[in-house]
Chains A and B, each alone.
Chain A
């Protein structure tokens, strides 16, 4: 039973560039949430996708956007990268029809902006 997979594992970008991160949810899950985790901090909610639409969004600027595909996989896009965007980006999946379905996380993509 495949868990949540994310790619790439590490990425180095320059300020002003754009980046796309990818996520495949756990088998049987249809909902994908994205989190940003700064060093030494807890994960911060970016947004959640369900049925190919953004269902909820956290306090992140419009530079952060996403997409969900018919196979439930998802992408996180960040435009005009800032040094402060350096973080571990986590994808989590759950079952959208089960309100109490806990989030299952991938191992993240470590993004470094120089």
Chain B
């Protein structure tokens, strides 16, 4: 089965609000995590990554939180914009020297005007 999964398949937010997309993983050996954004007709686009020795990492309008105790990952998007509408995937790597990034099924984020 999948090692990475998302709590909700869809998320709808008002433009300007903050969005939180959640992800759970099952393998305690996972040492590297990435969030990707995929727009219709395009390939996944890198958003932000985090290593397992970190709890939090911030980018431009995005923050990733990692809770290794409960094997949970979240992506927070501040001041969500219409251009943020897409499917968001979390992916993890199964440990050092394992180049297999495993993806969850994705969460579709819809931003309402």
A residues near B (Cβ < 8 Å) are 4, 31, 33, 35, 40-45, 48, 55-56, 58, 90, 92, 99-100, 102-108
**CB-CB nearest in chain A for B45:** A105
Residues of B within 8 A of A41 (CB): 105-106
Q: How far is the CA of A58 from the CA of B4 in the complex (A)?
A: 16
Query: Given A42, A45, A106, which contacts B43 in the complex, CB threshold below 8 Å?
Result: A106
Q: Which residues B69-113 have CB closer than 8 A to chain A? A: 89, 91, 96, 98-106
Q: A103 and B34 in contact (CB under 8 A), knowing A4-B43, A55-B99, A56-B98? A: yes
Q: A107 and B32 in contact (CB under 8 A), knowing A42-B104, A58-B100? A: no
B residues near A (Cβ < 8 Å) are 2, 4, 32, 34, 36, 41-46, 49, 51, 89, 91, 96, 98-106
Query: Given A42, A44, A90, A108, which contacts B106 in the complex, CB threshold below 8 Å?
Result: A42
Residues of B within 8 A of A31 (CB): 99
Residues of B within 8 A of A106 (CB): 43
Q: How far is the CA of A79 from the CA of B41 in the complex (A)?
A: 25
Residues of A within 8 A of B105 (CB): 40-42
**CB-CB nearest in chain B for A9:** B41
Q: A90 and B44 in contact (CB under 8 A), knowing A41-B105, A103-B34? A: yes
Do the beta carbons of A108 and B102 come within 8 Å of each other? Answer: no
Query: Given B36, B49, B98, B103, which contacts A100 in the complex, CB threshold below 8 Å?
Result: B49
Do the beta carbons of A56 and B106 come within 8 Å of each other? Answer: no
Do the beta carbons of A105 and B44 come within 8 Å of each other? Answer: yes
Query: Given A33, A90, A104, which contacts B46 in the complex, CB threshold below 8 Å?
Result: A104
